Amino acid sequence: MDTLRTRQWERLAAPAPPAGSFDPDEVADLPPPAQRLLHHALAPGVPLASTVVLTMEGEIRVRAWMPFRARQVLRAGTGFLWAPRVGRPPLTITGSDARLDGRGTLDFRLWGLLPVARAAGADTDRSTAGRLAAETVVWLPQALTPAMGATWTPVDDHRATVHVPVDADRVDVTVTVDEHGRLRDLGLLRWGDPDNQPFGMHPFGGDVTREATFDGVTIAADGHVGWWWGTPAQEKGVFFRYHITTAEFRVAAPSHPT
């Protein structure tokens, strides 16, 4: 990583004290799908960490489908940094997609030198807020608890909308949860310009095809992500297929008086 990305990564990945530990009784007033999801995803007593560091691999569609390997740090309500290596030698693309301090940036380069895609500004800021909320739902379920500021609205027996804090605002994400508490899919309106449409709020989301448990926290391990989620164009809009290989939840050690 270059110096700027290294500084961003270090800020986002710095361990922070947890917001307590998960108590199943504290979600008893949430809609039934939210209760099932949190009971399934979080072991009783697990620290409510605000940061996760992931490694992943998969495929991303950049005109054509290309393989990738990546590291990512995600901090609830604050930001993320995704640092992939896309393609195969000799044609490899590196760079990052990030959000921090309410600002989104995207910078990818062929061989680390020639610009391939770059973005910044108000539209990128708004788009990365939606991405942060969606990825918080699938990879940081601790942040979906009332103790960490999330609130919920019921939809039906299998769906509920979680209002995910993002900086000083919130993003609404609707989840589908099966009878066992497994997250099946999620959808939201996200700012963007998919398929060269004008910038605006467009359907976005993804499904979960496999779970994995890391240190008492069960997260989405495999899935598909795309625009036009929940519409007839959903399949055509998929541009990202992922497989999580590791997840580390960063928690600061408690301080002890001297």
Domain at 151, CATH number? 2.50.20.10
The whole domain housing 232 covers: 3-250
Per-residue pLDDT reduced to its tens digit, 96-140:
999 999 999 999 999 888 888 899 999 999 999 999 999 999 999
Decide if 133 contacts 164 (C-beta within 8 A): yes
Give the pLDDT mean for 182-210. 97
| Residue 31 confidence (pLDDT) | 98
| Residue 258 confidence (pLDDT) | 47
In a domain, 255, yes or no: no
Per-residue pLDDT reduced to its tens digit, 133-176:
999 999 999 999 999 999 999 999 999 999 999 998 999 999 99
The band of 254, judged by pLDDT with boundaries at 50, 70 and 90, is: low
Residue 239: Cβ-neighbour burial (10 angstroms; 0-12, 13-18, 19+) = middle
In a domain, 258, yes or no: no
Per-residue pLDDT reduced to its tens digit, 43-84:
999 999 999 999 999 999 988 999 999 999 999 999 999 999
In a domain, 154, yes or no: yes
Round the average pLDDT of the chain to a whole number and report it. 95
In a domain, 229, yes or no: yes
| Residue 1 confidence (pLDDT) | 63
**Dihedral over Cα of 228, 233, 239, 243: its sign:** positive
Give the pLDDT mean for 225-248. 97
d(CA 253, CA 184): 34
What is the pTM assigned to this prediction? 0.94
With CA atoms as reference, report the closest residue to 9 among 102, 64, 71, 60.
71
| Residue 253 confidence (pLDDT) | 77
pLDDT-above-90 percentage for the chain: 89
Phi and psi, residue 165, nearest 5°: -65, 130
Counted domains in the chain? 1
